[in-house]
Amino acid sequence: MMSFDKELNQTARALLNKIESKTAIIGVVGLGYVGLPLAVEKAKAGYKVIGFDIQQKRVDMVNDGVNYIGDVVNEELSEITSKKLLEATVDYSRIAEVDAVAICVPTPLDTYKQPDTSYVESSGKEIAKYLHEGMLIVLESTTYPGTTEEVLKPILEATKLTCGEDFFLAYSPERVDPGNKHFNTKNTPKVVGGITETCTAIAGELYKQVLEGDVHLVTSPAVAEMEKILENTFRHLNIALANEMAILCDRMGIDVWEVVDAAATKPYGFMAFYPGPGLGGHCIPIDPFYLTWKAREYNYHTKLIEIAGEINNSMPDFVIDRSMKILNKEKKALNGSKVVVLGLSYKKDIDDVRESPSLIIIEELEKAGAEWIPVDPFVKEFKFRGEAVKTHDLTLELIQSADLVLITTDHTPFDYEMIAKHADVIFDTRNALRDYKDLAAKYYRL
């Protein structure tokens, strides 16, 4: 129990006892890339977990022990559902059964790049309907500093229960890196900031019972919200720098990949970031703009973040422009050329196409009149202009028939040796063929 145990009221003490004895029932709202792995870890730790989602298909799959998230181990999901440690439902009235609930819902940007907190608000309103004394609520969705206190807390306190006394509210940002072979939900350190010290203590104790990574307590939800934005803005800015270097190196006839690898030999003061066809996923392309939006409230303009966004958003156009120039060298136009696009997900070895630059590139290929053939071993079908499009298998015949092989995601299962040997022209935006480039007849990279 926390060091200031004597300061806890009876309600807080009872909840902490449930958490430590693992008799607490845990709820997770949103069973996507963040919510399902979290629900699985809490169930593996010995808690009874109820997952809530608005999609009946997801709920049915969880209850049948069928996995749909890459970072969840199939056998583990099957085992905990068969033991009834985890069940899923679309019935939000069952929130009344839980002692603690994590909110893991999307926080997208609208068309004006302003935060859309509607999913958080609707989740808060559903929880408020069944809020009871001795309940912990933790928001995990990435958002702007102030969301927990300014948006979620008033919704919950409208029930006339008092935060920090009757119920407990905290923010703990998700740290999910799909496809990461070393760090996952269980072993990644967790940051927790509550409305009050008691809120922080209770939320921190729950995560300590579930996770292997360190639990770092901060003084407020705003600190935790801001540090999450800092994490992703750090990557956003450094990727933009790498992309701008790639554009300049292209004009100067310098190999940017060799430049970054050389710089990475320095054992201090440098961290290697590599260029690519653009940013994807739910976090890096979106999260920094939460801060840009919030900063306007304080009459501050986040110039560096916005410039980085312009650079990263321009990369799909740069890829199309380079593709045109590469085909021109072959006395071919992009219009009418057959382009095999290798990789649709935003990063290697996952099936997530959210905000993927590959989809933007395909859109531009379509506008340019090219015949594009999508290939991705992890994405069997995707939406393009509202229609479902099936991907193709990677075959020798397909590679040989292409005017241009465009590598947009460096998936491990791709046969790069075969691609290098048999493709007529290759444009590699990920340096995927670095070990086979000498086998290629005509090889270009970003």
Q: Looking at 104, 163, 199, 283, which residue is catalytic?
A: 283
Give, for 38, the enclosing helix (H) or strand (E): helix 35-44
Return d(Cα 323, Cα 318) in angstroms, integer: 8
CA-nearest of 112, 99, 87 to 31 is 87
Instruction: Give residue 63's identity as a one-letter amino acid code.
Output: N
Paired strand residues for 354: none
CA-nearest of 167, 205, 189 to 19 is 205
Return d(Cα 187, Cα 181) in angstroms, integer: 11
For residues 332-365, one letter each, b for 16 or more C-beta atoms within 10 angstroms of the residue's C-beta and e for the rest, the string is bebeebebbbbbbbbbbbbbbbbbbbbbbbbebb
Tell me the three state secondary structure of residue 221. Answer: helix
Based on the residue annotation, tell me whether 199 is a catalytic residue of this protein.
no
Contact 136, 168 (CB under 8 A): yes
Q: Which two tokens stand for residue 206?
A: 């729950």
Instruction: Give residue 128's identity as a one-letter amino acid code.
Output: A
Contacting residues for 265 by C-beta, under 8 A, at least 6 apart: none
Q: Which residues are catalytic?
A: 283
